[in-house]
Amino acid sequence: MSEAKVVFEVSADGVGEVTLNRPEVHNAMDDEVIELLTDIFRDFGSRGDVRMVTVTGRGESFSAGGDLNWMRRAADYTYERNMDDAVALGTLFRTLSELPKPTIALVNGPAYAGGTGLISACDIAIGVKSCVFAITEVTLGLIAGTISPHVVRAIGARNARRYFLTAERFSAEKAVSMGLLHEVVDDHEALEAVRDRIVGQLKRGGPRSLAETKKLIAYVDSKDVDAEMVIGTARFIAEARASDEGKDGTSAFLEKRKPYWVKA
């Protein structure tokens, strides 16, 4: 029996761990992988025992993007079939981006095309210094359509103009300067250490508060600062203050104790 293309588990401390498991093809994604990832992220998003989610790749690469055999098949698809495939891929990135739990990309190696989409859709991204990146679609006569909302938000339109058009490779350090990565570490051991540190920090946040904060950021990022924005952001904090989580968190701070969601 062949190994699963994506493996996942929930650790004892509530971390949903997702690993692309196709090292022989540099964790390239096909239609099966896209469906598996979407289902896993939806499941993790609804589970109370999952506090946060990590995404990484097995082997030397994070993800090479689209699987070549899948892309060869797609060349013979009808327009309607290609639309269905593209919508499925875009839905994957949106599902990851809107997951009501913090998400961490642990970039263990090179990431190209759709691999950069996965990273950009995560809330936090840490990579080893040997990583290289590229948005390569134009070299195949294609367009980085479904990843574009997430990558452009991560690196900005000006950087997108260069790297979407030239398909140049860029380093982990350059990825940090553009916003694709938050931090670069020396090696895989250091990557795990930073993962543990970030997981520890995220555990301090209330589950409802973390989910609503993600919604708040998306809301603020999409609107002008006007009267509607004042009311909208006020609603976020008012609802938080009135929630059980907000009440206990405030009381815990004043009483110098841990809130109920902090177990250790």
pLDDT at 98: 97
Longest dimension (CA), the chain: 65
Cα–Cα distance, 132 to 224 (Å, whole number): 35
Task: Domain 6-202: give its CATH superfamily.
Answer: 2-enoyl-CoA Hydratase; Chain A, domain 1 (3.90.226.10)
The chain-wide mean pLDDT, for the chain, equals: 94
Cα–Cα distance, 25 to 251 (Å, whole number): 52
What are the tens digits of pLDDT across the range 232-254?
999 999 999 999 999 999 999 99
What are the tens digits of pLDDT across the range 84-129?
999 999 999 999 999 999 999 999 999 999 999 999 999 999 999 9
What are the tens digits of pLDDT across the range 41-67?
999 999 999 999 999 999 999 999 999
DSSP code for 19? E
What are the tens digits of pLDDT across the range 162-214?
999 999 999 999 999 999 999 999 999 999 999 999 999 999 999 999 999 99
DSSP assignment of 79-133: HHHHHHHHHHHHHHHHHHHT-SS-EEEEE-S-EETHHHHHHHHSSEEEEETT-EE
Q: Please give the model's pTM, rounded to 2 decimal places.
A: 0.94
